[in-house]
Amino acid sequence: MAKVTAKEPKKVKKQTVGMKILTVIFTIVSVFYVMPIVIVLYNSFKTNEDISRNLFAFPTAECFNGFANYVKGMTFGNYPFWEAAIWSLFITLGGVFLILLCTSMCAWYIQRSNTIICKIIYYFCIFSMVVPFQMVMFTLSDTANKLKLITPWGILLIYLGFGAGLSVFMFSGFVKSIPIEIEEAADVDGAGPLKTYFGVVLPIMKPTVISVAILETMWIWNDYLLPYLILDGEYRTIPIHMQFLNGSYGQTDNGAIMALVVLSIIPIVAFYFACQKYIIEGVVSGAVKG
């Protein structure tokens, strides 16, 4: 017994040293991840010429441009920035709401029905994650044009289709971990399917709902290609609006673009930090194997 007791402190010490090494490694990795954001931030206060001359140099008194880049980015052209921000917000909120509502209900029904048709639908959703967007984008653009889905409210259905695969997969994994007895008790109390879902199942799925919401929000808010291909010319999102700062013959206003990048990442970063505690819990729960 004495020998075993003597070895235990060494084991604890070795684990502590290992954790310190991992902490140092991940701290360095985190710095590399944060550096691009820092570079974009301080370059948004430099003149366009100084950005082209030395991208990594900090702004000095000679090259400091104040908020001129922000003003130019928000007032550039005949299309105001605030209108692009409103359309981005509408498409993001509407798309995420549709994805969360429809896919969570679909996943719950698939897991509780357990029929061949439900299994086929589930595997179709999984298969949709494998198909690259570039394979279907031209056909999708033509189909959306014929079906009059080239408006901000029409594109919500397209985002629902592309976001269904991952969402159904995550929600299905979480539903498997919910005891069926809870729903049976609600059924005995006289609750119908809708009341059981909204009153019992949906509150239990809160961690996964928030995790899916964060993933889908970051995707839709930052998406450039799908709105560019689908939306009519009178509608712009923030990424499309930034593209118009690229002039002809390779002329690009890097300062104004970086200013708009900073403005565009502020809402999504704030939303991420507000909900980050639910991410790991929701992802792990959605990956439960039944």
Count of the separate structural domains present in the chain: 2
Domain boundary among 11, 43, 69: 69
Residues 128 and 32 occupy one common structural domain = no
Q: How far is residue 51 CA from its own chain's centroid?
A: 29
pLDDT in tens, the chain (290 residues): 445 555 445 444 555 787 888 888 988 998 888 888 888 888 888 888 888 888 888 877 777 877 888 888 888 777 888 899 999 999 999 999 999 999 999 999 998 887 899 889 999 888 888 888 888 888 988 999 999 999 999 999 999 999 999 999 999 988 988 888 888 888 888 888 889 999 889 988 888 898 899 889 999 999 999 999 999 888 989 998 888 877 655 567 788 888 898 999 998 888 888 877 776 665 555 444 44
- Of the residues 44, 69, 94, which one is the last residue of a structural domain? 69
Is residue 101 situated within a structural domain?
Answer: yes
Helix (H) or strand (E) holding 53: helix 48-53
Residue that is written with structure tokens 């594109």 in the block: 155
Is residue 169 domain-shared with residue 268, that is, in the same domain? yes
Distance separating alpha carbons of residues 172 and 112, to the nearest angstrom = 10
Position 1 scores a pLDDT of 46
Does 268 share its domain with 125?
yes
Q: Is 261 within the bounds of a domain? A: yes
Q: Could you tell me if 87 and 155 are in contact, meaning their C-beta atoms sit under 8 angstroms apart?
A: no
Rounded Cα gap, residues 262 and 246, in angstroms: 17
The encoded tokens of residue 91 equal: 């498409």
| Cα separation, 45 vs 56, whole angstroms | 13
What pTM does this model have?
Answer: 0.83
Q: Which of 230, 105, 96 is nearest to 163 (CA)?
A: 96
Closest C-alpha among 100, 96, 55, 126 to residue 198: 100
- In a domain, residue 75? The reply is no
Q: Is residue 74 part of a domain?
A: no
Q: 3-class SS at 246?
A: strand
pLDDT, position 286:
47
Domain boundary among the residues 69, 98, 126 is at 69
Amino acid at the residue 273: F
d(CA 245, CA 236): 13
The domain that contains 198 carries what CATH number? Answer: 1.10.3720.10
Count, residues in the chain: 290
Strand partners, 64: 46
As a whole number of angstroms, the distance between CA 172 and CA 289 comes to 10
CA 140 to mean position of chain CA atoms: 22
CB atoms within 10 A of CB 248: 5
Tell me how far CA of residue 279 lies from CA of 211, 216, 247, in angstroms: 5, 12, 40
The residue segments making up the domain with residue 29 are 2-69
Q: Are residues 59 and 91 in the same domain?
A: no
Q: Please report, for residues 152, 224, 233, the alpha-carbon distance to residue 228 in angstroms, rounded to integers and kept in the order given.
A: 12, 6, 9
